[in-house]
Homo-oligomer: A and B are copies of this chain.
Amino acid sequence: MSHALRVTVWNEYRHERNPNHAASRVYPEGMHAPLASALAQAGMQVRVATLDDPEHGLSEADLAETDVLTWWGHAHHGAVADAVVDRVQARVLDGMGLLALHSTQGAKIFRRLLGTSGNLKWRESGEKERIWIVDRSHPVADGLPEQFVIPHEEMYGEPFDVPPPDDLVMISWFPGGEVFRSGCGYRRGRGKLFYFRPGHETYPTYFDPTVLQVIVNAVRWLAPGRGPAPIYHNRPPLEPLPPNE
Which A residues are within 8 Å of any B CB, using their own CB? 89, 93, 95, 112-117, 119-128, 130, 132-139, 141-147, 151-152, 155, 157-161, 163-164, 166-168, 171-173, 175-179, 181, 186-192, 225-242, 244-245
Contacts and interface: CB of A to CB of B under 8 A. Distances in A.
Contact of A122 (B119, B123, B234): B234
Given A121-B233, A133-B228, A228-B144, A244 B158 contact: no
A189 B130 contact: no
Contacts of A147: 158, 238
Given A179-B179, A228-B144, A241-B125, A164 B189 contact: no
Q: Give the interface centre of A121, A138, A227 by most chain B CB atoms within 10 Å.
A: A227
Contacts of A158: 132-134, 146-147, 171
A230 B146 contact: yes
Given A134-B158, A172-B179, 9 more contacts: A125-B237, A132-B157, A132-B159, A133-B227, A136-B227, A142-B227, A159-B230, A175-B241, A176-B238
A236 to B, nearest CB: 7
A142 B239 CA distance: 25
20 contacts: A117-B232, A119-B230, A124-B234, A125-B237, A127-B241, A128-B242, A137-B187, A137-B225, A142-B225, A159-B228, A159-B232, A163-B163, A163-B187, A164-B187, A168-B168, A173-B179, A175-B237, A177-B238, A178-B238, A240-B242
Nearest to A157: B235
Contacts of A136: 159, 189-190, 225, 227-230
Copies of this chain, whole number: 4
B239 A144 contact: no
A116 B137 contact: no
Across the A-B interface, give the 5 residue pairs with the lowest CB-CB distance, nearest first.
Answer: A176-B237, A177-B238, A136-B227, A141-B227, A119-B232
Nearest to A146: B228
Contacts of A142: 225-227
B123 A176 contact: no
Given A115-B115, A175-B241, A175-B242, A123 B235 contact: yes
Nearest to A117: B93
